[in-house]
Chain A
Amino acid sequence: METVSGHASQRKVMKRAQQDTAERAAELLATVAEKRSRAAFSELFSHFAPKLQAYGTRQFGNEQTAMDLVQETMTNVWHKAHLFKPDRGSPSTWIFTIARNIRFDLLRKNKRRKDEISADELWPILSEQNDNLDDDYALDHDVLMQEIKHYYHQLPDAQRIVVEKIYVEGKSQQEVSDSLNIPLGTVKSRTRLALKKLKELIVEHD
Chain B
Amino acid sequence: MIKAHPSEALLYQYSSGELSCAMSLMVATHIDMCPSCQRVSAEIEQHLCEKHFDEIAAKWDQKQCDDMLAAIFSSESSHPLIHNDPNNMICLQGRRFNLPPTLANNAYRIGDWNHMLGKLWRAPVSIGGVENTNLIYMEPGATVPEHTHKGVEATLVVNGTFSDEYDSYEDGDFIMLDASRKHSPRTVQEDCLTLATLDAPLHFTSGISRLLNPFSSLFFK
Residues of A at under 8 Å CB distance from B? 1-5, 7-8, 11-12, 38, 41-42, 45-46, 48-51, 53-55, 58, 70-71, 74-76, 78-80, 88-90, 92-93, 95-97, 100-101, 103-105, 107, 112-113, 115-124, 126-127, 129, 133-134, 136-137, 139-143
* Contact (A4, B36) CB under 8 Å given A46-B65, A50-B60: yes
Q: Which 10 A-B pairs have the closest CB atoms?
A: A116-B128, A50-B57, A96-B49, A79-B77, A120-B80, A133-B101, A104-B17, A118-B81, A54-B57, A51-B53
Could you tell me if A117 and B49 are in contact, using CB atoms closer than 8 angstroms?
Answer: no
Residue of A nearest to B77 (CB): A79
- A116 contacts B71, C-beta separation under 8 Å: no
Complex: how many Å from CA A143 to CA B48? 38
- B171 proximity list for chain A (CB < 8 A): 139-140
Residue of B nearest to A38 (CB): B73
State A101–B15 Cα separation when bound (angstroms).
10
Given contacts A1-B7, A74-B72, contact A120 B81 (CB under 8 A): yes
CB-nearest residue of chain B relative to A133? Answer: B101
In the complex, chain B residues 37-74 whose Cβ is within 8 Å of any chain A Cβ: 37, 39-40, 42-43, 45-50, 52-53, 55, 57-60, 65, 68-69, 71-73
User: Would A121 and B82 count as touching, CB distance under 8 A?
Assistant: yes
Contacts of A46 in B (CB 8 A): 59-60, 65
Q: Are A116 and B60 in contact (CB under 8 A)?
A: no
Kindly list chain A residues whose C-beta atoms are within 8 Å of the C-beta of B126. 115
Interface: B172 (CB within 8 A): yes
Cβ of B67 to closest chain A Cβ, rounded Å: 10
Contact A92–B65 (Cβ < 8 Å): no
Q: Is B24 an interface residue (CB 8 A)?
A: yes
**0/1 interface trace, chain B 105-117, chain A, CB 8 Å (1 if under):** 1100100000000
Tell me if A93 and B82 are in contact (CB < 8 A).
Answer: no
Choose one: A4, A55, A120; the contact of B82 (CB below 8 Å): A120
Can you sample 19 A-B contacts with CB below 8 Å?
A2-B7, A4-B5, A7-B8, A7-B40, A8-B39, A38-B69, A41-B69, A45-B69, A46-B65, A78-B73, A90-B46, A92-B53, A95-B49, A113-B128, A115-B127, A117-B128, A118-B82, A133-B105, A139-B98
CB contact list, B12-52 vs A, under 8 A: 15-17, 21, 24-25, 28, 32-33, 36-37, 39-40, 42-43, 45-50, 52
Question: Across the interface, do B17 and A53 meet the contact criterion of CB distance under 8 Å?
Answer: no
**For residue B45, which residues in chain A have a CB less than 8 angstroms away from its CB?**
89, 93, 96-97, 100
Kindly state the interface size class of chain B when it binds its partner.
35 or more
In angstroms, Cα B48 to Cα A45, docked, is: 20
List residues of chain B with CB within 8 A of the CB of A120. Answer: 80-82
* C-alpha spacing A53/B53, complex, angstroms: 10
Is the pair B17, A1 in contact by a Cβ cutoff of 8 Å? no
A4 in complex: contacting residue of B8, B53, B73, CB < 8 Å:
B8
**Nearest residue, chain A, Cβ from B98:** A142
**Complex CA–CA separation, A46 to B5 (angstroms):** 40
Q: Are A88 and B42 in contact, with the CB atoms below 8 A?
A: yes
Question: Is the beta-carbon distance between A1 and B175 smaller than 8 angstroms?
Answer: yes
Contact at A71–B46, with CB atoms within 8 Å? no
Q: Determine whether B93 belongs to the interface, using a CB cutoff of 8 Å to chain A.
A: no
Q: Considering the chains assembled together, what is the distance between the CA atoms of A119 and B21 in angstroms? A: 9
Which of A49, A88, A103 has the largest count of B CB atoms less than 10 A from its CB?
A49
Asked if B75 is at the interface of the complex by the 8 Å CB criterion, the answer is yes
Q: How far is the CA of A104 from the CA of B15 in the complex (A)?
A: 11
Residues of A with C-beta under 8 A to B176 = 1
Kindly list chain A residues whose C-beta atoms are within 8 Å of the C-beta of B49.
90, 92-93, 95-97
Contact yes or no, B48 A100, CB < 8 A: yes
Docked CA distance A95–B52 (Å): 12
Q: How far is the CA of A131 from the CA of B176 in the complex (A)?
A: 30
